[in-house]
Structure 1
Amino acid sequence: MYKLNAQEVASIFQESVDGIATDLIRSHALKFSQEIESLSSPLFRWLEFRLRYVDPSPRRTVFSDKFPVSQLPVKAQEGLSQLIRVMEEGRDINPYQGRGLLKHDVSRELRGNRTNLLWADWGITHFHLDATLIPSDRYFSFPADYLAFCIVDAESVVFVDVLRHPNGDGFSDFSLLETVHRNWPAYMERFKLKGVLPGSRLSQSEIHSLREGGLSPFIVLGDSMYASPGMGITSASTPTKVTLIMNRLRETVDELARFVSEGDGQVAKTLQGIGAGAPILSLCATERGLVVYDETSKVAFSLSKLPGMEEVCDLMVPSWAIEKLLANVSLNS
């Protein structure tokens, strides 16, 4: 009777996760130069994209007191109306995020292009307001003169403001947070620092420079101080939330390895019952989602319904990512 070693299985599973992430990076044509060795984790690169990508699903739309936007050009208004419609109908709104969704590269030398710093720091995503039909041979919308700045979650899209497309430090416009605070104080209360006296407010250019340098300044609103709603920037100018979620995912995969290695557990019992010999296990992305696969017996164990694995499956292999990954494999086979 064979016995699985939990540490060895964990090591194999972690390698599998990186392999799956590498395949996903390629299938989505994500820029990944790996110029900086310490920032070249395939899993980190995939998660940075995965967390910014908005899953196609119907969402309710909520508007700040900036709406309706006064004196908005007709073309921008048409783009806004179309964007709202696409969001409410649950169609893919990612083409309106802009090419940075694919081209920002956490592993590159140039700090300012490692991620979307506004999203990483304040949790605000911007969308281009262009109503022009996107040609079939391209994915992204045409660049627009005006952008919608939004906070997106699983069920809703909060429209904070529409502004003319900024450049450089314009993406550190403090009026965006002032609007969020004024309209949704309960949301901002979650980030309020208790017992901390506010200092002076930083300028737009100062916030921008600090972000690029790997610092997330605290936020001064009224007589209170707040942490970053987007969880902020690491010293490498990458999103802190990606680091935290990646670490949590790694820990869950280690827990899965311990579960699989239990001699009296479901996986071990099933494999022993088959009697195909010592198992050769790995994690694989399949049309059934994420599975534990045994090369020896050719048996796969689906993880989508296993308690505690929901987040890992959603982060690694959401349905839209699996479809593209398998389509890419078919094209290359």
Structure 2
Amino acid sequence: MSSTQKTIDLNKEIDEIAEKAIEAFQLSYVKTAHSNLHDPLLRWCDFLLRYIPPAKRTILKSDRFPVQTSDDSKVGLQRIEELFITGGDVNPYQSKTLTIFNDTSGKKENKRTDGLWADWGIHHLHLPLNPVAPGKKYSDRSEWVLFIKVYNDAVYFIDIKHHDKDVEPNLFSQQDLVKTFIRNWPKEAEAYHMKGALGLVNNKPITDEDVAKMRNSGINMPFEMGGKVYAPIGMGMTTAVTATRVSIFSNRISYYAREIEKIFTDEEKQYMKELKSCGIDNPEFQIMMFDDGGLGIHEKGLNKAWRFLRENPDEPNDIFCLFNNSLMPAWAGPVVVEHWKKHS
């Protein structure tokens, strides 16, 4: 057995980085729920996946458009369209639950994530008359909201509905939203088709209110339309009423970290060979964040750092790139670095 000892626990350091990121973006994180939800990476990942990275996107509209709305909301809709087309930031028009009110570690189960997004993968944006004010995180709220499904290079406008619950009961669990998505974009919906399922056995039709109640209890309901059964288009909820896709994403980051640990502590790899050649037999590794917000590995004894790439043309699945872009995307890194500098 080798006497060489390598000190490395990237998952512990990932939690520390996630805590810094939570602080930097001022995310609610109160830790009043069961201890297994006191997970800063889970909280950070919920925000990462719900945030809409600014990028130029093609807009595709459903057959629900044009929707009869107020003149104010028409101005707001045009603004959102321009932001998507030009690659602007639409996040100020999201629900405030993006950063506050929703919290994976919170005591109230139905407040741990955006149920509509977690269940069906649908975002909603407010359509106020005025643009977001300078220095403000969010725009004015509005009486009309736009429901969308976001992809890397496209955004599907599903519908616009009134925000008043008396006008639109069960607004965020209306099955009509999913029906509209499937009807207009059947090829995209096919990815969620549960092949082999012939239908759902129900004694009575499932109502929008039923969807809301089951969603708030962490129960996922397949969706039936046109003789096909579809899995939850947003991957659904866990029994803890957090988003399933967030848990999967969080676990993936932890997996990347374990694989990187193996690479850096492998006696046959370049890193250990280089350290040994410099007289470092017992290296101490830690995650390092660079000034541009990118990540890497630092070894304390030699005081040397290896920067992870954002993109590797020779290896699309480069694990260092995957780790870097998953835990600290390019849009988030600079914000966290600036916060770290001010509070370190």
Q: Residue type of the partner of 2:279?
A: G
Aligned to 1:260: 264
SS at match of 1:190: helix
The answer as to whether partners of 1:4 and 1:262 remain within 8 angstroms in 2 is no
In structure 1, what is the Cα distance between the partners aligned to 2:212 and 2:322? 32
The answer as to whether partners of 2:253 and 2:327 remain within 8 angstroms in 1 is no
Aligned to 1:141: 139
Structure-to-structure mapping, 1:151-166, within 5 angstroms: 151-166=149-164
In structure 2, what is the Cα distance between the partners aligned to 1:33 and 1:80? 35
SS at match of 1:193: coil
In structure 1, what is the Cα distance between the partners aligned to 2:274 and 2:144? 58
Aligned to 2:41: 43
Q: Is 1:247 aligned with 2:251?
A: yes
Q: Is 1:237 aligned with 2:275?
A: no
In structure 1, what is the Cα distance between the partners aligned to 2:304 and 2:278? 9
Structure 1 residues 98-145: Cα deviation after superposition (integer angstroms, max 9, x where no partner): 210001101111111100000000000000011413222311011111
The answer as to whether partners of 1:277 and 1:296 remain within 8 angstroms in 2 is no
Structure-to-structure mapping, 1:42-121, within 5 angstroms: 42-69=40-67, 71-103=68-100, 104-121=102-119
TM-score of the superposed pair, with normalisation by structure 2: 0.91
**Corresponding residue to 1:297 among 298, 302, 308:** 302
SS at match of 2:287: strand
In structure 2, what is the Cα distance between the partners aligned to 1:330 and 1:260? 27
In structure 2, what is the Cα distance between the partners aligned to 1:67 and 1:169? 21
Shift in CA distance, 197/276, structure 1 to aligned 2, threshold 3 Å: closer
Structure 1 residues 216-248: Cα deviation after superposition (integer angstroms, max 9, x where no partner): 111011222110110000111110011112112
In structure 2, what is the Cα distance between the partners aligned to 1:58 and 1:275? 50
Structure-to-structure mapping, 1:118-197, within 5 angstroms: 118-167=116-165, 169-197=170-198
Aligned to 1:323: 334
Aligned-residue offset at 1:67: 1.3
SS at match of 2:36: helix
The answer as to whether partners of 2:220 and 2:232 remain within 8 angstroms in 1 is yes
Aligned-residue offset at 1:2: 6.7
The answer as to whether partners of 1:197 and 1:223 remain within 8 angstroms in 2 is yes
Aligned-residue offset at 1:277: 5.8
Q: Is 1:308 aligned with 2:309?
A: no
In structure 2, what is the Cα distance between the partners aligned to 1:2 and 1:297? 19
The answer as to whether partners of 1:18 and 1:43 remain within 8 angstroms in 2 is yes
The answer as to whether partners of 1:86 and 1:92 remain within 8 angstroms in 2 is yes
CA RMSD across the alignment: 1.7
Structure 1 residues 171-200: Cα deviation after superposition (integer angstroms, max 9, x where no partner): 001111111111111111111112222234
Deviates more, 1:268-277 or 1:211-220: 268-277
Q: Residue type of the partner of 1:25?
A: I
Structure 1 residues 28-69: Cα deviation after superposition (integer angstroms, max 9, x where no partner): 100001112111111100000000011111111111111121
Aligned to 2:15: 18
In structure 2, what is the Cα distance between the partners aligned to 1:274 and 1:318? 33
The answer as to whether partners of 1:122 and 1:232 remain within 8 angstroms in 2 is yes
SS at match of 1:149: strand
Q: Residue type of the partner of 2:109?
A: R
Aligned-residue offset at 1:266: 1.7
Aligned-residue offset at 1:331: 2.6
In structure 1, what is the Cα distance between the partners aligned to 2:275 and 2:295? 18
Structure 1 residues 1-32: Cα deviation after superposition (integer angstroms, max 9, x where no partner): 97344xx52xx111111111111001110000
Identity %: 28
Q: Residue type of the partner of 1:311?
A: L
Q: Residue type of the partner of 2:62?
A: S
Shift in CA distance, 317/260, structure 1 to aligned 2, threshold 3 Å: same
In structure 2, what is the Cα distance between the partners aligned to 1:267 and 1:202? 58
| Bigger fraction of residues in helix | 1
4+ residue segments displaced more than 4 Å: none
SS at match of 2:99: helix
Pairs aligned (count) = 328
For structure 1, the 5+ residue unaligned runs are none
TM-score of the superposed pair, with normalisation by structure 1: 0.94
Q: Residue type of the partner of 1:198?
A: G
Structure 1 residues 62-114: Cα deviation after superposition (integer angstroms, max 9, x where no partner): 11111121x22110000000001011111111111021000110111111110
